[in-house]
Structure 1
Amino acid sequence: MKNFICCVALLGFGANLLVNSPSTANEFLINSEIAQTIKSEEFIARGTEPFWSVIVTKKGIVYSSPDVQKQTFSYVPPLKAEARPADLVRVYRLQGKGNNVLILKKIDSCSDGMSDREYPYSAIFILGNKVLEGCADKK
């Protein structure tokens, strides 16, 4: 009987450590937030007439179009709107010659004009003197 009581006491003590262990729950939340932040930085913006796309990842930002040779820019963290949710507006300043900028804004829906697909972001891509408008989605 004493052995049984000791086992129950030890099991209860061990369970209490697991339930009240902040590191396990916090590690999960922190890792989930990091994964979400990394994922939320990956976008595909695209437009029609003319056709173009910009892929944003931590590895780089790539612009492509059937008319132009693919251009790759270094990834830079986006500017965000002051006093607004971080996911509302993102402005990527692309390094290189000219004023190259990608602006993504979360909206109710954006249509590419060619398909029935609705996108959650509008996109404006400025490459030198060229301004392209389209839609974007998280990758």
Structure 2
Amino acid sequence: MTGQAPAVGRVGAGVAALRRGANGPEVLLIRRRDDARWDLPGGGVNVGEEVETAARRELREETGLEAGPLTLLAVFSGEAHRHTYPDGNVVAWVTIVYTIGQVGGEARAGDDAAEATWWPLAALPGEVSAATWAYFRALTRPEEVRA
């Protein structure tokens, strides 16, 4: 054993909200309060909750936006999706990410999001986790996502 805390497995739901910006496609990102990294809106699926329902709930809680139709992007797991929280808890996430092209409302930070803003896909922020980079690869280079 490496001395790392044992991980607890969790199922997560995330949303890649996309829109056409002035300089090309943009994706909605939130800056997490716990580690100040940029990420897609998303979080844990509650016991008994459907994954799509959780994705819509997380988008609403973290950005104030209502989701239009959801399309499955991919399911993510593995070492890049293991997260150590500031309190020392370690979670091994299996995250189901959806894309949406229609959202209702204006983005505003809420819940555990310190900020919510639209970023050009061509100029994403540097402060993102390995998991978030995997989501971006799936959005921009879907041929690299394992089936």
Tell me if TM exceeds 0.5: no
User: Normalization by structure 2: what TM-score?
Assistant: 0.28
* Higher helix proportion: 1
